[in-house]
Amino acid sequence: MTTPPPIEHHERTADRRTNPGGPVDRVVDWDAEEEAVEGTRPAQPNARRWWIFGSAAVAVMVVMAVIWGLSATVGRVHWTYTGHDLVAEDQVDVRLDLQRDPDRAVTCRIEARDERNAVVGRADVEIGPTQSSPSRHVLSVRAAAPALTGYIDACWYSDEPPRR
């Protein structure tokens, strides 16, 4: 039988689990090795404080974003454009669904536009209180030149100034 070549030092300390059947001078306790390495790591006493501060800051920002989002949308008039009809060359009917406080009147600014997308007609139309919300409406706008399309520019409560 021939003799094996000399064994390097790092192979002598191989673990039986990672080098089955290989040469082993001693079995390494990896748990003890890991604990020894972790014990030499510098302690960070302020790390917990920064995690608490960071978590609190994120929570405050989330609450502020929710409050800001709700304040920007609650109690406002919301509309959905559902189409238009060219009634005549100088008149466009615009269809919309309004979601709003049904006890308050709403004013909507509608516009008629030509093929160059220039405004050829504009009207502020007041819609009185309704029984329920959302409600569907058809509003007409007259055009000074031949119109191609119509749309809703803005809607607001009649007792408030228009929002921009």
pLDDT tens column, 33-50: 787 777 665 556 677 888
Find, among 89, 79, 90, the residue nearest to 138 by Cα. Answer: 79
This prediction's pTM: 0.56
Q: What is the pLDDT of residue 56?
A: 95
Per residue in 1-23, pLDDT tens? 566 655 554 444 444 555 555 55
* pLDDT value at 29 more than 60: yes
Per residue in 107-148, pLDDT tens? 999 999 988 988 999 999 898 888 877 888 899 899 888 888
Per residue in 66-118, pLDDT tens? 999 888 777 788 888 898 888 888 899 999 988 888 888 899 999 999 889 88
* pLDDT value at 28 more than 90: no
Question: Do residues 156 and 162 make contact, with C-beta atoms less than 8 angstroms apart?
Answer: yes
Find, among 94, 105, 103, the residue nearest to 136 by Cα. Answer: 94
Q: With bands split at pLDDT 50, 70 and 90, how would you rate the model's confidence at 31?
A: confident
Radius of gyration of the chain (CA): 37
Q: What is the pLDDT of residue 12?
A: 46
Q: Would you state the structure tokens that stand for residue 89, as one six-digit string?
A: 């060359």
